[in-house]
Amino acid sequence: MTDVDLDAEQYDKNREAGEILAQVRNEAADRVEVGASHLEIAEWAEERIRELGGEPAFPVNISIDEEAAHATPGVDDETTFGEDMVNLDIGVHVDGWLADTAVTVDLSGNPELAEASEAALEAALDTVEAGVETGEIGAVIEETIDGYGFNPVVNLTGHGLGHWQQHTPPNIPNRAVDQGIELEAGDVVAIEPFATDGGGKVREGSEEEIFALESEGSVRNRAARQALNQITEEFKTLPFATRWLDVRRPEMALRRLKQQDILHGYPVLKEQAGCLVSQKEHTIIVTEDGCEVTTRL
């Protein structure tokens, strides 16, 4: 198979992942309402991805209020939605080729904050084309969110998407930066503005339900060894949730694997002043004169 054929097959799979993801995102968002279960919606969305021919690229993120990323329900989680600002961040892969998207569902009565991240994303997409620098995209995002009277979250960025890799260069900043990277036709990137009524930075919390393979290794503990076999076979280098593991006492197995630096965790990221965060994200393929949005129906 030639490189041209390989590229065509890759992009077809990127597009297929995006089409599945756009449908699941919209259907999942429609299910978010006061009283609904976090765990039921996450598991429904992950299974719906499989029904449509894809696989989850990472656990469904359900971030509430000041949470910005990496929050997913734990095993037997009984949390339900209240009058919250809800960010759904969902990923799909087809044979390791990824799409990534996010949407805010506002149950908190702060529609302008949700609108700010959405408007920033649309303005960023209008800016994208081959040759544009990532710093220019960040400037447009920052200017748009500022126009709504809010702040961008400056220590979170968009990112490239690789084969079996959720985060690759280039980073797409959510503010103006001088040292940008020039986008090229064919780049597959996720642009994801975060807006907040706080100061614009997130910090790591103590909760951790998402993990990914860090390095190869061996363990003597049976449960940890079983978990590692499942991780390397099913998830490879992509993030996974504690609740996805088919072993007894998965938390103990994960702790052993982390202690040996075989896995790393993703702590929940929270706005450091405890203020609300909204998010909107699409995956795109950069073209000579614009971009193709793979996660838009």
12 is in an annotated binding site: no
Q: Which two tokens stand for residue 133?
A: 């620098």
100 known ligand binder: yes
> Which of 159, 197, 271, 282 does the annotation list as catalytic?
159
Known binding residue 89? Answer is yes
Contact 147, 185 (CB under 8 A): no
Residue 163 tokens read as 């084969």
264 noted as active-site residue: no
Q: Which residues of 12-30 are buried (b: 16+ CB within 10 A; e: fewer)?
A: ebbbbbbbbbbbbbeebbe
- Choosing from 84, 192, 197, 271, which is the catalytic residue? 192
- Establish whether 167 is an annotated binding residue: yes
Residues 108, 105: Cα–Cα separation, whole Å: 9
Question: Which tokens go with 173?
Answer: 């900043």
* Whether residue 89 lies in the annotated active site: yes
Q: Find all residues with CB under 8 Å of 52, minimum gap 6, and list them.
A: 20, 23, 24
Sheet bearing 55-64, strands edge to edge? 55-64, 85-94, 97-106
Q: Which of 167, 207, 214, 292 is catalytic?
A: 167
- C-beta separation of 166 from 200 below 8 A: no
3-state secondary structure of 34: coil
Q: Which amino acid is at 12?
A: D
93 marked as part of a ligand binding site: no
Q: Residue 281 catalytic?
A: yes
In angstroms, the Cα distances linking 172 to 3, 87, 112, 156, 279 are: 27, 19, 23, 9, 14
d(CA 246, CA 164): 22
100 is catalytic: yes
Is 163 designated active site? Answer: no
Residue 38 marked in a binding site = no
For residue 260, give both structure tokens: 């040996």
Task: Say what angle helices 111-127 and 134-147 make with each other, to 10 degrees.
Answer: 150
Sign of the torsion formed by the C-alpha atoms of 267, 269, 272 and 276: negative
Contact 23, 54 (CB under 8 A): no
Residues involved in catalysis: 89, 100, 159, 167, 192, 281
Residues contributing to the annotated binding site: 70, 89, 100, 159, 167, 192, 281
What residues are designated binding site for a divalent metal cation?
Answer: 89, 100, 159, 192, 281
Residue set of the binding site for substrate: 70, 167
